[in-house]
Structure 1
Amino acid sequence: MRYTDIAIVGGGLAGATAAAMLGRADIPAILIDPHRAYPPDFRVEKLSGGVQVERFRRTGLAEAVLPKTSLDGANWIARFGYLLDKVPSQQFGMLYDDLVNTIRAEIPDSVDRVWAKAVAIATSPDRQTVSLSDGSAISARLVVLANGLNVGLRQTLGIRRQVVSDCHSISIGFNMVPVGRASFAFPAMTYFSERPSDRIPYISLFPVGGRMRANLFTYRAIDDPWLRELRHAPAATLRAALPRLARLTGAFEIDGELKVRPADLTVNEGYRQPGIVLVGDAFQTTCPVTGTGTDKVFTDVERLCNVHIPAWLASDGMDEAKIAAYYDDPVKQACDAWAWAKAHHFRSVSIDHGLYWALQRWARFFNWSARGMLRRIGRQMDTKFDDHSSSSSSSSSSSLSSSA
């Protein structure tokens, strides 16, 4: 039996981030995961600037991780084959397994790693016992369940998963390569659907290393024949679905294997128990189309490790009343509600019929167009001002030389 304050079950994005944060705070912890190096997995492939990166910075890990990603610098916004805007951007591209392993490298040596599978958890208001596949066990004051979509342990604890929206969306990842030229003209691009009937909200193109990575999203059933066509002839199927995309990308092909991930929207019941907390997808899933899953992970882990765990460890016991403070945290609840609402709204605005949703789609189109126009006018005015200043400076220099 090993003893610790915190046992973290699952070494993905949530678990690795929690282990690194607790280790840096000198809180005794053990990370439990079957894999010494996180294996290839199709999940998060980029971090967006602004609020998402700010949430990452609150974990204290961003400064070590972000320099190892691919920064785009600008993102083209397009629809119907037309470029609407060139938005200054800070999207950080990195494949999910590389991201997790990079964060794992930031875990201090003070955090023990156990490369085994957690097969059972026994909880109490005082200490918890995690039984492992190698026959050993860990006694901890608190168990952080960060094992994502694996429901086995939750079921043994009486935590029930409820599927709210089955196959809410499907994410498809692949590499796109230009034909007849060395690179694409754009640093990154978000291209929105041309027709609601295609059931494609958008495709996102962004750099990862020396490749242009594509994340294509669709609202379809997992047995939809269109997915089989995409697997069989990916470039041709994509061109048929988004026929005007090539106006901006030029000729392209799809290189390598397609990664396909269906996503259900799920919630849990019965999770308010002594001695255990759920973070990330283990608590509640969201839709990858909205890009909010990473926001939820960083918010969950940051609030848990920076606020609640230090407070809980300051006194004896780990009863349900203590655990409730995490689930009732207003910052966490606000992030959960925002991500949940966005998952439903984005689907409706992408594919739902009716005048209201049609107007919503056109409003977005004209909003992007107006922003792009104002940005172009601003750049032209800046250019004219710079040219005028340069001309005035040259005239002044010339006058001074004549006077001398």
Structure 2
Amino acid sequence: MAGCISAKLLAAQGLQVILVDRFKQSPPVFRAEKLEKDQIDLLAKFDLLSQRRPLADPLGVNVNYNDGRITEHHDVEQYGIRYHDTINQLRQEVSKLVEYRVAKVESIVEDPEHPQSQIIHLADAEPLHAPLVIVASGYRSGLLKKRGVQYREDKDLASISYGFDIERPDQSPFDSNAYGYFLKPDKNGIDYITIFRIGETMRANVFTQLKSSDPRVKELKNNTYPALQKYFPDLEKLTDPFQLISKVEMFATYFYQMRTPELNGVVAIGDAYQSVSPTTGTGLSKVLNDVDVLCNVFVPRWFQNQSFDHKEINEFYQFAQKKEADTHSSRSWKWYADPSSRSGLVYRLKQNKGVQWLVQKLKLRKLRH
């Protein structure tokens, strides 16, 4: 997503952009499946909100279970999306504006004859030359490792999420388009389940801080509904009984952040720079914020000055708005990983997505002034 949107924004500024991806179509992949308010605002700013798929109405009412209480939150502006369908729609739209190459990038090296240029070596194709390369390849780019980039890691800060489609046994509609069941803060490692509509399908996501060696990882994957009844004992009070109608998808990650490199003409964004726990709901926020800062603040400056050295590039990584989003994402991850920090009013506020969004917007507004 970061690469597609960056290509669109930079082409709109009159720059010649080549988008390189090893796949013509994104295969089905379990990634972000719900758009939150701040993400919606940024996509609208980029004039890309209409490219989400399915193109459905907001979820509206959220029915949540928390501390034994069921509450309703009305007029919630969230959208359920199929990530790969949205990516493919974005690619189709962006390919009208930029050159789209289907190829595997083998390496990115400095051009020895032209200091302000990078050579992008492609498998089975002629190399490309460009003054600036944006790496938006997701998980810990091997391309950057080849350039000597190192990552700061914390494998104890781990996250495993699950996704699957559900329906009621009689196939009758659910009473609400969105549900959330939040567990009390403890050392259980299982955080919450959220159920929401994507088009005509009800989708469930389960978020945990489990490590891959925990036996509950396989239990949730292979014996899902009994495990849900075990760990979310009042779930049927919230949703009524349901059944799984798809395979259970799983996504595992751990925390890493790229150490600021001395790379001329190469910049990393999104998960190529720093990982994020899906539990926090900040994954797309961090990605879209990177795109916003890079394309609307730094790239115009770099091309105006015709300067792409590592000192200029590193100013992007240190920019206050970007650092705030990165820090907010990592702190939110640590907040879920440390049950002792989840208590009282602060815990309840963090469950309220509306309050979460407002606080984040106020922080970013303060940074910009």
Q: TM bucket by the smaller chain? A: 0.7 to 0.9
Q: In structure 2, how many angstroms separate the alpha carbons of the residues matched to 1:292 and 1:331?
A: 14
Report the equivalent of 2:41.
Answer: 54
AA in 1 matched with 2:234? R
AA in 2 matched with 1:314? Q
1:252 deviation in Å?
1.0
Q: In structure 2, how many angstroms separate the alpha carbons of the residues matched to 1:195 and 1:310?
A: 45
Equivalent pair of 1:81/1:247 in contact (CA under 8 Å): no
Q: What SS does the corresponding residue of 2:274 show, helix, strand or coil?
A: coil
AA in 2 matched with 1:74? V
Aligned equivalent of 2:348, options 352, 364, 367:
364
1:184 aligns with 2:174: yes
Aligned equivalent of 1:28, options 16, 24, 33:
16
Return 5+ residue gaps in structure 2 as ranges: 356-369
Return 5+ residue gaps in structure 1 as ranges: 1-12, 372-404
AA in 2 matched with 1:264? Y
Equivalences for 1:67-86 in 2 at 5 Å?
68-69=55-56, 71-86=58-73
1:69 deviation in Å?
4.1
Equivalences for 1:133-212 in 2 at 5 Å?
133-166=123-156, 168-194=158-184, 196-212=186-202
Equivalent pair of 2:54/2:82 in contact (CA under 8 Å): no
Q: In structure 2, how many angstroms separate the alpha carbons of the residues matched to 1:39 and 1:30?
A: 21
Q: What SS does the corresponding residue of 2:337 show, helix, strand or coil?
A: helix
1:167 deviation in Å?
5.6
1:195 deviation in Å?
6.7
Report the equivalent of 1:305.
Answer: 295
Distance 1:321 1:366, change over 3 A: closer
Distance 1:267 1:85, change over 3 A: same
Q: In structure 2, how many angstroms separate the alpha carbons of the residues matched to 1:357 and 1:366?
A: 9
Aligned residues: 350
1:90 aligns with 2:77: yes
Equivalent pair of 1:174/1:215 in contact (CA under 8 Å): yes
Q: What SS does the corresponding residue of 1:38 show, helix, strand or coil?
A: coil
Q: In structure 1, how many angstroms separate the alpha carbons of the residues matched to 2:275 and 2:84?
A: 19
Equivalent pair of 2:54/2:199 in contact (CA under 8 Å): no
Q: Which is further off, 59-68 or 320-329?
A: 59-68
Equivalences for 1:342-361 in 2 at 5 Å?
342-348=332-338, 352-353=339-340, 357-359=342-344
Equivalences for 1:192-341 in 2 at 5 Å?
192-194=182-184, 196-341=186-331
1:234 deviation in Å?
1.3
Equivalent pair of 1:144/1:279 in contact (CA under 8 Å): yes
TM-score by length of structure 2 reads 0.88
Deviations 1:263-305 (A, max 9, x none): 1110112424210000000011121101111111111111111
Q: What SS does the corresponding residue of 2:94 show, helix, strand or coil?
A: coil
Q: In structure 1, how many angstroms separate the alpha carbons of the residues matched to 2:257 and 2:334?
A: 14
Report the equivalent of 1:45.
Answer: 33
1:194 deviation in Å?
4.8
Equivalent pair of 1:20/1:103 in contact (CA under 8 Å): no
Distance 1:366 1:25, change over 3 A: closer
Report the equivalent of 1:376.
Answer: none
Deviations 1:76-110 (A, max 9, x none): 12125531233321111112111211221221534
Q: What SS does the corresponding residue of 1:243 show, helix, strand or coil?
A: coil
Aligned equivalent of 2:107, options 120, 128, 138:
120
Deviations 1:323-371 (A, max 9, x none): 13322222111111111111111322xxx25xx645468x629997xx9
AA in 1 matched with 2:64? I
Q: In structure 2, how many angstroms separate the alpha carbons of the residues matched to 1:194 and 1:298?
A: 31
AA in 2 matched with 1:14? A
TM-score by length of structure 1 reads 0.81
1:148 deviation in Å?
0.8
Q: What SS does the corresponding residue of 2:287 show, helix, strand or coil?
A: helix
AA in 1 matched with 2:35? L
Q: In structure 2, how many angstroms separate the alpha carbons of the residues matched to 1:138 and 1:269?
A: 26
Q: What SS does the corresponding residue of 1:297 show, helix, strand or coil?
A: helix
AA in 1 matched with 2:182? F
Q: What SS does the corresponding residue of 1:68 show, helix, strand or coil?
A: coil
Report the equivalent of 1:394.
Answer: none
Distance 1:240 1:103, change over 3 A: same
Distance 1:195 1:150, change over 3 A: closer
- Aligned-residue CA RMSD (Å): 2.3
1:59 deviation in Å?
2.4
